[in-house]
Every structure is written in structure tokens, then in C-alpha cells.
A and B are shown apart, each in its own frame.
Chain A
Amino acid sequence: MGLIDNEGLQWSNLSRKQGSNPNAMKGSRVIYLDNAATSWPKPRETWRAMENFMRHIGANPGRSGHRLSIEAARIVLEARMAVAELLGIEDPLRVVFSRNATEALNLAINGILRPGDHVIISSMEHNSVMRPLRALEKRGVEIKVLACSPEGELNPQEVEQAIRGNTRLIVMNHASNVVGTLIPLAKVGETACRNGVIFCVDAAQTAGAYPIDVEDMKIDLLAFTGHKSLYGPQGTGGLYIREGLEGVLEPLMRGGTGSRSEFQEQPDFLPDRYESGTPNTVGLAGLSAGVRFVLSQRIVQIRANEEAKTQLLIGGLESISGVVLYGSRDARKQIAVVSFNIAGLTPSEVVMELEEEFQILCRPGLHCAPAAHQTIGSFPQGTVRLSPGYLTTEEEIHVILEAVGKIAARVTEGGVAHV
């Protein structure tokens, strides 16, 4: 993978070698399996674009008419166009940028729902959906949570049955960040559309990792984050807003936009209506390059690659005795996120051993999605989550499987986990 720069990896290897771990694995490379939290390493294009902005452009986009300001605004537009191209969005100006998916989801949820409205979600939602909704519930919004199967699967017919006269919004994540299970988006979108309900998708885990087309899937609002499978930096994300929705979607914030400065009221056109204040232009420069990377690799190719590695991981984990695997156990039905536990150990014990002994970095616990863990039966202790990325190698998957095998064997042999 010539496009990837491993300077970051080598640097962390160096500090690791100088660290206190005498058992460091041969080669002592860290294996990063936390791509569902943030993808890493990034394609070199991402940070080169950011460096280019910081060194050579640097100005405030759209605030002034000078050439550096225009150059900065072009960078922001390029990022919009790249995201639009990836997601099948015809008009790039309908992509509004935010700090992350959480902010985009807060905009969508708080911007649409009013007291008396009814909203439908699944039981696999992330807290970035749950928490804004629970706060609105106190102000008179009714929430219907559709229970998914223990594998995280949603029966789309239940969506239809849950719709009522005052159902205003359906919010669903495209894929769970706990077990990776995909939701049948197109079916839910079709149901929403037929019933005149606004359909909002949390694509934090799938944008850049799984094909999405907002037209085919009848998506009205789509929240994405830049730092996961779009290979941009943290601090970037956004919301796609279907034409016409700006009439009913209240902005989260109001302020300076560089446009219509003579008016004290917020502009009503996109993207300015939802983008107050100076944007994260350096981040968007990186996001733009990251999305271009995804487009150049082709999303179907990325998906096929990740699906193969996921199947390898699932198959390998299934064959280790003592491992409890969650989710669909079928890579075709999920993205590259796999949750498991080792009987007799807590998730954090496993994760600590993986890091200390094998230099494998991943995330234990509830992954900001307690309801999802309740659904799959791993609440409150949570799971160990392995999330390979496009840049994870097959060889690394084998190393992980071997490591999990060793830890599990120690438990079954009666060895005590050294915590």
C-alpha cells in the first residue's frame, strides 16, 4: 500500500521499544484495531493536504474577497463536492459541515422534533442519538425504540407498524458501532418515504466503508463523521439535508456566515443557514483528501476488502474455545466491527493483555451504546471490540487471532489473568 505513510507507526514503535515492555513482540509494530473509534493511520494525502493549507493558504474562507480567502473557500467546496460524490448527493451545497457526527445528529434531531412529535429509532443506536432524544423526551417528544434481535438485526416491517399519525422522524444508524450489523436502509427509507416521515441516517460507521446513495435509499438527512472511514481528521463531519427540509430544520447555532452581513437574521439558504462561525478549514482540507482517497480506491473495492478481513476474523474467533462472539457472525451482513468476550475475563482485562503483551490496540466496554449492549446481551460489562480498517493487513488479523487464542487458552488451562 504505497499510498500509506507509516511515519506515525514507526514513531510510536520507537517510543514503545524504549518503554517498559520486555515482552514486546518481534518486530514490535502496534496493530491498530480501533478504526471504529477513529481510523489510523491515515493516507498520506490527508495530512499533506492539511499541511499545505496551514503553510500556504491559512486564510478565512468566505469572509474576505482576497485570493487566500477564496482559495480557502475553494478547499471547503472541494470537500463538499467529494462528500457529495461519494454519497450520491446531487447538489454539494446540501452538505453542511460540523465538528463530527454527534453535532450533525444533534442538529437533525433538535432541528426537526417538537413537543408532541413521535420518533422511531432502533435499539442499536449510539448515545449521540439516544441522549439528544432522551433530553427531548422530557420536553414532550415520544420515542419508540424498536428492539433488534440479539444479532443486532432490525425487522423492517416493525418500522411500518410503529408509524403513527404524529410520527415525524425515523433515526437509525446504518451499521452498529458495537457489532457492525447493517440495517436494511433502503427498506426503511422506502417505508419512511411512503408514510411521509423524515428519514435520518447515522452513517458514522459506514460513510466510506459501505456504498450509500441518498437517492436510492430515500434518505432525507444523513450524518457522517470525517475521522473514521472517510480518512479525514478528527473535528470534521457533517449533515446532508434533502432539498426542502431547510424550511422545517432549525439551525443548532446562529452567527456570522460571511454572507448577507447586512441582515441580523440567519440566512435561509444552504450551507450558510447551518454553518455559523469560521469552519475547520484545515480539517476539511484533510477530509477532502481522505474522501478522494476513498473515491480513488473505489468503495466496492474497500467494502470487499473489509468484508474478507471481517470474515477471517469472525471465522477465527469462532474456532477459539472460550470465546463468546456477538453479532451476525456473517461478514456479508455487517461492517468490519467485531465484538467478543472471553469467558472468565472482563473486556478490559482482555484489552489490557492484548496491548501489553501483543501491542494490539482496541476498545473494551460499552462503546457509547448501552442500549446496543442490552440488545445483544452484553450489558453492563460490555465487549472487546476489534475494528480492522481498510489498511489493516490479513497478516495482522492472523496475529490478533493467535493472541486471542493464547489469552483464552490461559483461562481454560486455569491460569489466572495477570491484571
Chain B
Amino acid sequence: MSGEKFPGGQKASYRVVLFYSTSGTLVAEKILKRERIEYKLIPVPRHLSSDCGICLRFLREDEGRVMEAIGGKVEIQDIHSL
């Protein structure tokens, strides 16, 4: 995961969703996997939070599907563009 390129130079084509706990993040990950939505588990970017946890990154155009899939199932802490 540490080799992951952060979107410093990339266009903001990604969104990240943050959860309150690692467990919550992994529950959401399972849902995205089941729904076959493309995602990546990444460390929470430092500018978003000083948390030491992880979050899910997905393509901006998938936001509607992501929200529908995890809405009401796992509590979302925050959602950001990268």
C-alpha cells in the first residue's frame, strides 16, 4: 500500500470515503467488492485527517453507485475529492 501513488499530480478524478473505524472501512470494502465497484483501499491522506487508518478510493463517476451500495449499512465519516 505504501507504494501507492497519491494523486498529487493526478486530476481530481477520484473521491475517497472515510469511515469511523477500520472495521467500518472493511465492511464497506466487502460491499463494494460484492457490487463489483472498482475501488482501492488506501491510507487516509494526511491532509484529510491525522488518523492512522485507511479509506476507500473510487472513481468519481461511481459516486452514486457507491453511496447507494453503502448508504445505511456503514456510517460514513467524510467524503472528499482527491
Interface residues of A, Cβ cutoff 8 Å to B: 61-67, 70, 73-74, 76-77, 80, 92-93, 257-262, 267, 269-272
**Chain B residues with CB below 8 A from A261, complex form:** 50-52
B13 within 8 Å of A (CB atoms):
no
- Chain A min CB distance to B38 (Å): 18
The binding surface of chain A is classed by DSSP as: loop
Interface residues of B, Cβ cutoff 8 Å to A: 1-2, 20-24, 26-27, 30, 41-44, 49-54, 74-75
The binding surface of chain B is classed by DSSP as: loop
Quick check: A70 and B51 within 8 Å, CB to CB? no
Known interface pairs A70-B41, A262-B49, A269-B75; A65-B54 also in contact (CB < 8 Å): yes
**Chain B residues with CB below 8 A from A258, complex form:** 21-22, 52-53
Quick check: B51 and A62 within 8 Å, CB to CB? no
Contact of B27 among A67, A93, A269 (CB under 8 A): A93
A73 to B23, CA, bound (A): 7
Quick check: A65 and B20 within 8 Å, CB to CB? no
**Chain A residues with CB below 8 A from B50, complex form:** 261-262
A262 to B49, CA, bound (A): 8
**Chain A residues with CB below 8 A from B74, complex form:** 93
Quick check: B52 and A272 within 8 Å, CB to CB? no
Quick check: B20 and A272 within 8 Å, CB to CB? yes
**Chain B residues with CB below 8 A from A269, complex form:** 20-21, 24, 75
A259 to B26, CA, bound (A): 13
Quick check: B23 and A65 within 8 Å, CB to CB? no
Contact of B21 among A66, A262, A271 (CB under 8 A): A271
- B23, B26, B54: which has the most chain A beta carbons within 10 Å? B23
Q: Pull 26 A–B residue pairs with CB atoms less than 8 Å apart, ordered by A.
A: A61-B22, A62-B53, A65-B42, A65-B52, A65-B54, A66-B2, A67-B1, A70-B1, A70-B26, A73-B23, A76-B23, A77-B23, A77-B30, A92-B23, A92-B27, A93-B27, A258-B21, A259-B20, A259-B21, A259-B51, A260-B51, A261-B50, A262-B50, A267-B20, A269-B20, A270-B21
Known interface pairs A65-B43, A67-B1; A262-B23 also in contact (CB < 8 Å): no
| Nearest 5 pairs of A and B residues by beta carbon | A65-B43, A62-B22, A262-B50, A269-B20, A77-B26
Chain B: CB-nearest residue to A262: B50
A76 to B30, CA, bound (A): 14
A262 to B53, CA, bound (A): 12
Quick check: B52 and A63 within 8 Å, CB to CB? yes
Quick check: B27 and A77 within 8 Å, CB to CB? yes
- Chain B min CB distance to A264 (Å): 13
Contact of B54 among A70, A260, A270 (CB under 8 A): A70
